[in-house]
């Protein structure tokens, strides 16, 4: 039974980008706030970022600070949710990599799950660490020097990692203890860090995910049309930026013929 005030006065940064797995952000954040923590969503851009359920768009959350506005000294702990897209975007961002490197160097607690550990690997932090993740990320972490364990949660020093939404209940319980700095969490961390042999690769992907993808309804025609229109708009804007206003005008249908007509009807005194 929790008191509801274990994290009172603690400030937690949640580093996320578009494509975060909705349940991996919303459930831990709700639990942190229920325990009294002040939580900020930190992201690559201002505004509202889009969550997903597997690959389907979900609701959005408001960004409190961008990475350029966030300061390590303002926070006591860091949470990095997963999802397929979110950590892939973050790991390509130098400000995001720098943020987690500085946070880790401070010794403050970091928690992540699912594909979130990708960011830790890209930041060059996983060498010699013991951790877990979504099973499909195992090889990436092992190749980056980590010892990978196939467990619900793994603690190693200031890190807490978990496999994904299937382990949400034990992860949230461990998350509160980890961010509260409980002695039991530190003792378990020492035990996990002593393991040096990675668990073997899985022999098959999770049946739950295969089943969910199999029965996921196909996007509606309206959704497909909106996505197509959005992509076409982005492509047009990109082409316009590359060409500049002169190139854009030149390539418009009929623009060359109109320019030619203006030259033919130009008064003689304006010729040349």
115 catalytically annotated: yes
Q: Which residue has the higher pLDDT, 117 or 214?
A: 117
Rounded to two decimals, the pTM is: 0.78
Average pLDDT in the chain: 87
DSSP bridge partners of 251: none
Which range among 166-170, 194-198, 232-236 shows the weakest confidence by mean pLDDT? 232-236
- Say how many residues make up the chain: 272
How do residues 26-59 score in pLDDT, each as one tens digit? 999 999 999 999 999 999 999 999 999 988 889 9
Catalytic residue among 55, 115, 192, 265: 115
Q: Which long-range contacts (CB under 8 A, 24 or more apart) does 166-169 make?
A: 166/206, 166/208, 167/113, 168/23, 168/24, 168/27
pLDDT tier, 248 (very low <50, low <70, confident <90, very high otherwise): very low
- Between strands 147-148 and 130-131, the pairing is parallel
Task: State residue 239's pLDDT score.
Answer: 77
In sequence order, the 6+-apart residues with CB closer than 8 A to the CB of 130 are 146, 147, 149, 154, 156, 192, 193, 195, 196
Task: State residue 41's pLDDT score.
Answer: 98
Q: Is the pLDDT of residue 215 over 80?
A: no
């Amino acid at each position: 039974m929790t008191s509801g005030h274990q994290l009172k006065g603690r400030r937690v940064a949640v580093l996320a980008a578009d494509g975060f797995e909705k349940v991996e952000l919303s459930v831990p954040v709700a639990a942190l706030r229920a325990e009294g923590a002040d939580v900020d969503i930190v992201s690559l851009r201002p505004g509202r970022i889009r969550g997903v359920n597997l690959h389907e768009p979900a609701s959005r959350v408001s960004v409190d600070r961008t990475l350029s506005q966030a300061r390590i000294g303002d926070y006591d702990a860091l949470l990095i949710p997963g999802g397929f897209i979110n950590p892939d975007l973050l790991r390509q961002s130098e400000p995001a990599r720098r943020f987690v490197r500085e946070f880790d160097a401070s010794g403050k607690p970091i928690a992540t799950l699912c594909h979130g550990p990708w960011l830790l690997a890209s930041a060059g932090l996983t060498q010699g660490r013991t951790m877990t993740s979504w099973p499909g990320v195992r090889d990436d972490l092992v190749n980056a020097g980590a010892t990978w364990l196939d467990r619900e949660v793994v603690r190693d020093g200031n890190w807490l990692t978990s496999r994904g939404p299937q382990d949400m209940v034990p992860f949230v319980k461990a998350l509160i203890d980890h961010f509260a700095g409980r002695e039991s969490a530190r003792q378990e961390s020492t035990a996990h860090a002593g393991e040096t042999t990675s668990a073997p690769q899985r022999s098959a992907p999770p049946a739950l995910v295969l089943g969910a993808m199999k029965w996921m309804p196909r996007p509606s025609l309206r959704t497909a049309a909106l996505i197509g229109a959005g992509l076409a708009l982005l492509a047009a804007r990109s082409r316009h930026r590359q060409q500049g206003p002169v190139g854009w005008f030149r390539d418009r249908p009929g623009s060359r013929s109109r320019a030619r007509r203006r030259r033919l009807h130009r008064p003689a005194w304006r010729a040349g």
